[in-house]
Amino acid sequence: MALEAADLLINEIDSRGPIARPTLHDAIVARVRDMIIEGELTPGTRLHEGNLGKILGVSRTPLREALKFLASEGLVELSPGKGAVVRKFTEKDVHDSLIVLGSLEGLAGRLACANATDAEIHEVRQLHDRMMDMYGKRDRLPYFKLNQSIHSAILRLSKNEALVSVHGVLQARLKRIRYIGNEGPEKWAGAVADHEEIISALEARDAERLSKVLTAHMEQTWERVRHAI
């Protein structure tokens, strides 16, 4: 019967968690965030509500809500009565953020050593190996994405939701810059050495060593990214 098929469908959905009908303003948040990261909207650009709304094909109401959200993430700035502009990050802003990110990742590493399962660590090892593969081929974009995945994974393995969340916000602010920074001259060697030590420290569950190298790794990121600001 058709009824059974419907029931199966519902179970399928339920087993994947509550049904989250996507809403327009959430989609707009994601879309505008991507537009900023991908450089379609450059820092300093004014985000006219009517204008941008027409481009995205939405009315002003959900767009305004999305802008409010992005403002609290720190990606856009709202001046009352003036409107929204894509936030400009100074060199100091970026450096400051990287210092905090380094500290957060260091903490995440320490916690991951204590809280991750062997299987989870093995998954990171596999990401690492695939990344090294891409490094061998000098295949930049997959390398970049796997790199990001490894860092996110370590955050997840800390099993600390608050940590994941604050890291995510800060990470989002810098994504654009890291994206550009990666397009520069190839200074991969150092980063790769760091990553070798990261995965080995994680497998050894050496919390202190992992924490140190993750924090130090950020300073290198700063050097690689600096020119892009």
Partner DNA sequence: AATCAAAATTCTGCATACAGAATACTTGTG
Partner DNA sequence: CACAAGTATTCTGTATGCAGAATTTTGATT
**What is the contact surface with DNA in residues (CB under 7 A)?**
19, 21, 23-25, 46-51, 58-62, 64, 78, 80-84
Q: Pull the structure tokens for residue 65.
A: 């809500």
Among residues 11 and 61, whose Cβ is nearest to DNA? 61
Task: Examine residue 35 and tell whether it contacts a second copy (CB under 8 A).
Answer: no
Site for a second copy in 100-159 (CB under 8 A): 100, 103-104, 107, 111
Among residues 74 and 142, whose Cβ is nearest to a second copy? 74
Task: Examine residue 49 and tell whether it contacts a second copy (CB under 8 A).
Answer: no
Please say whether the dihedral angle defined by the alpha carbons of residues 220, 226, 228 and 229, taken in this order, is positive or negative: positive
Site for a second copy in 75-104 (CB under 8 A): 79-81, 92-93, 96-97, 99-100, 103-104
Out of a second copy, DNA, none, what residue 83 binds, judged by CB under 5 to 8 A for its kind, is DNA
CA distances in angstroms from 92 to 21, 52, 229, listed in the order given: 40, 30, 10
Q: Please state the closest distance from residue 133 (CB atom) to a second copy, in A.
A: 34
Closest CA to 155 of 124, 119, 176: 124
Residues 6+ apart with CB under 8 A from 91: 226, 229
Which DSSP helix (H) or strand (E) runs through 90?
none
